[in-house]
Amino acid sequence: MGATVLFTGRSQEKANAIISRATLLTKSDILKKLIFKKCDFTDFSDVLSVVESIKRESGGKLNILMNNAGLTSATKKTTKDSCDLVVQTNHLSPFLLTSELLSLLNKTPNSRIVCLSSIASEDKGMLSKGLMLKDFNWETTPYEQMGFNNYSTTKYYNMIFAETLNLYIEKENMKIKVASCHPGWVLTDWSNNAPKYLIPLFNFLIPISDLFAKDLKYGYSTQMHCSTVELKELVSGSYYADCVVKQDRKTPKDMLTKESGIAVWNKTIEVIENRIGKKLTGLSKL
């Protein structure tokens, strides 16, 4: 038996290294097949192509969708779809991917979606720009706190997306479950996108990171918990940290209302449909 895992990324070379590291697993009962699909989340047409190829190769079922891709940027960059680099990579493209894979997930019994958010989604200071509905792609709003105000907003979107997607799923009488999570602070390649002057600091921190950051081995525990815990135990729509539902979120209260979630949801659909020039097939406005 074993699972077939399909993962995406931009680099075939990085993917080859992952596949060769997983050889032992593929020889066991845990993993049947590891498939890589090249996909750049800064390009909506790439996301739509990967959706088609997943649908072709999935054998008609998809048990777990994990929306993991994410980055931060200290300076503003615009994608070829005329979106903010971080907003498109962290929020718009995962939203599009989820939307277009929804029917496949819905056809699969006991399916679930896990969205990687962050504790940054709870930082009042970094979220001081609010929902950003009037300038969703940060065209005029300045990046502050080395770009972390922009990153935090997208991580807030990931959390509120899971919550609102759960409402949508219930409304449509679907059976899919969805959760968002904060993995913990893990010194991954993520720090490579930090401002250049901070790189020496990260290089200094990495060797002593066990003292304060989660080891890479444990860095994936919360998202793995959400992906593998018995489905009846997964609290759909919730935000997890340290493998449990986080009750005391510090996000400004007015950003956690159902209305805020729906406002971000509807704006997201408007922006994506405008860029791809057609209606989404899975998700629609609430």
Ligand X SMILES: NC(=O)c1ccc[n+]([C@@H]2O[C@H](COP(=O)([O-])OP(=O)(O)OC[C@H]3O[C@@H](n4cnc5c(N)ncnc54)[C@H](OP(=O)(O)O)[C@@H]3O)[C@@H](O)[C@H]2O)c1
Taking the least distance from each CB to ligand X, the nearer of 189 and 233 is: 189
Contact map string, positions 179 to 218, toward ligand X, x by CB under 6 A: ---xx-xx-xxx----------------------------
Q: At its nearest, how many Å lie between ligand X and the CB of residue 14?
A: 5
How many residues bind ligand X (CB under 6 A)? The answer is: 22
128 touching ligand X, by CB under 6 A? no
Binds ligand X by CB under 6 A, chosen from 4, 5, 6, 10: 10
With contacts defined by CB under 6 A, name the span among 36-44, 141-149, 200-208, 265-273 that binds ligand X.
36-44
Nearer to ligand X (CB atom), residue 68 or residue 103 = 68
Is 257 a residue that touches ligand X (CB under 6 A)? no
Choosing from 44, 87, 89, 95, the residue that interacts with ligand X (CB under 6 A) is 89
Closest separation between CB of residue 15 and ligand X, Å? 7
Q: Is 42 in the site for ligand X (CB under 6 A)?
A: yes
Q: Which of 4, 49, 68, 141 binds ligand X (CB under 6 A)?
A: 68
Q: Determine contact, residues 160/130, Cβ cutoff 8 Å.
A: no
Backbone angles phi, psi at 218, to 5 degrees: -100, -10
Q: Is 40 in the site for ligand X (CB under 6 A)?
A: yes
Q: Closest residue (Cβ) to ligand X?
A: 70
Q: Least distance (Å) from ligand X to the CB of residue 273?
A: 21
> At residue 278, what are phi and psi to the nearest 5 degrees?
-155, 165
Which positions touch ligand X (CB under 6 A)? 9-11, 14, 39-42, 68-71, 89, 116, 118, 182-183, 185-186, 188-190
